[in-house]
Amino acid sequence: MTTRLTRRDFAALAAGALLARPAVAQPGEAPLILRAIPGTNERLPAVGLGTANVFDSDDERTRRSAAEVVQALVAGGGRLIDTASSYGDAERVLGEVAAAAGLRDKVFIATKLEAPDEAELERSRARLKTAKLDLLQLHNVRDPRQSLAPFKAWKAQGVCRYIGVTSTFHGDFAAVEAVLGREKPDFVQVDYSLDDREAERRILPLAAEVKAGVLTALPFGRGRLFRAVRGKAIPDWATDFAESWAQFFLKFLLADERVTAVIPGTSDPAHMADNLGAMRGPLPDPDRRKRMAAFIDGL
């Protein structure tokens, strides 16, 4: 029997169920999938929230939706929220939402700087209303000789708990590889989705070698995956592990244990609840992952 719930239908049901239950697993319910950060073994919920293009306007509508989606994240057992100094007003919106709801201690805040610049760092901390960041990343690394010395100094000073590098440009993956191998940051963030698996071949093996956590940006391929399956039912052979297309796409990534967390962006609390569903229940085995990739490649 195939499921014919749309993402919107399933998300609405998931949001209602999510808000009605505690974040901890109840008797008979699958526990949350948590992943250890390689350098410390701190365990992080494997589904987070990205804020690019969704928290970027400091207006009433954005603040309201941001508050709802952050509350949904925390209610569902999530913690990780990824933002950047260059995402418009996203840092400010996130800082205000977390402070107003008293959620700072319940979330893991990751932000990014465009350069190792003290003024930019202080602006980010002020916007986020926090003296100490959980993860501070250098955004879109392009120079293979890039030093992370300032980030390491900030970590030593207690400004942040972890440091990392990011890129969503495949042309810069060689630079990411060079910096990752030499500087050995705590995290690397790259775009990785079921229809774009270059990071799986190039970045994930090196991240495992240097013991860096992996965050996967754009896990829905900038919306390409949802467009590819529009009007289609989830295959019968996938319904035992995925109740929605979002979970199908996210569980493909989470089935690779080198992935620490996926960070899909959304401003919709129902979609947040749907995404968090990927953090419970079975993950596809290697044979099923191959079948998932072949299915998407064939569309």
Q: Per-residue pLDDT averaged across 134-155, rounded? A: 98
Mean pLDDT of 53-77: 97
Q: What is the pLDDT of residue 24?
A: 52
Q: How far apart are CA 193 and CA 224, in angstroms?
A: 10
CA angle 260, 246, 1 (to 5 degrees): 125
Using alpha carbons, select from 207, 260, 223 the residue that is nearest to residue 79: 260
HSE, CB side, 13 Å, CA atoms: give it for residue 66: 31
Domains and CATH numbers, the chain: 43-297 (3.20.20.100)
Across 234-253, average pLDDT: 98
> pLDDT for 72-129, tens place per residue?
999 999 999 999 999 999 999 999 999 999 999 999 999 999 999 999 999 999 999 9
Q: Which residues contact 257 (CB under 8 A, 6 or more apart)?
A: 35
Cα 189 to chain centroid, rounded = 9
Q: Which residue has the tokens 């749309």?
A: 6
The reported pLDDT for the residue numbered 183 is 98
Contacts of 22 (CB under 8 A, 6+ apart): none
State the pLDDT at residue 5: 46
- Residues with Cβ within 8 Å of 269's Cβ and at least 6 positions away in sequence, in order, are 15, 65, 68, 69, 71, 72
Predicted pLDDT of residue 3: 41
Mean pLDDT over 244-268 rounds to 98
Helix axes 269-276, 245-254, angle to 10 degrees: 50
Output Rg (C-alpha) for the chain, integer angstroms: 18
Mean pLDDT, all residues of the chain: 93
Q: Beta-carbon neighbour count of residue 136 at 10 Å?
A: 28
